[in-house]
Structure 1
């Protein structure tokens, strides 16, 4: 009977350890957002553009979230590429990072820059 218990414990370790290691590797890392049309993701994108406009006195108009990633921190960081238009022609892509703690009703725009041009932190 003891051999069966030891065997089951070892088997469970072999099966569960890779799952645990995989989940631990993701904590703190960026994970792609599968549905950028999710209403909450769109709301985060709209928030990023409105906060950028407020801080910089710009007049960008949010159009859509092009792609995004999330990172688990003390809350969630959203790194989004958003399309926005300044009213003067074609839309441009911007990279925004928003930190959110929904249980505290807290959001903060951490950065907002033209896509592929580095980051400017506020």
Structure 2
């Protein structure tokens, strides 16, 4: 009877560890939603994205807000943000990807394009 309890315990432990591994494996390298797009750090990244794009393109865009976003853990963090920016008096949505390495105090705009719905 004790042997059955030991087998049951090992089986239960295996299922628990497997589910723990599966949930963490899905997060590493995958995109996770940002729950608070009004977080000052997220807003700062959105402002950086619009400002950096404007420097490169001389488009005259002015940051308005972050609408939604996701993060991805890489060698640092990728932020994929939907931002609204003013383009000559008209608000438009854009998708920006910023790669941040906080330990180097470094941000790099890797993509910026009109958002598709």
TM-score using structure 1 length: 0.85
Alignment correspondent of 2:58: 57
Partners of 1:90 and 1:58 lie apart in 2 by 13
Partners of 1:113 and 1:25 lie apart in 2 by 27
Alignment correspondent of 1:39: 40
Unpaired segments ≥5 residues, structure 2: none
**Structure with more strand by fraction:** 2
How many residues are treated as equivalent by the alignment?
116
Greater CA drift, 5-14 or 22-31 = 5-14
- SS at structure 1 position matched to 2:85: strand
- SS at structure 1 position matched to 2:90: coil
Work out whether 1:89 is the aligned partner of 2:89.
Answer: yes
CA RMSD of aligned residues (A): 1.9
TM-score using structure 2 length: 0.89
Partners of 1:25 and 1:82 lie apart in 2 by 26
Partners of 1:94 and 1:80 lie apart in 2 by 8
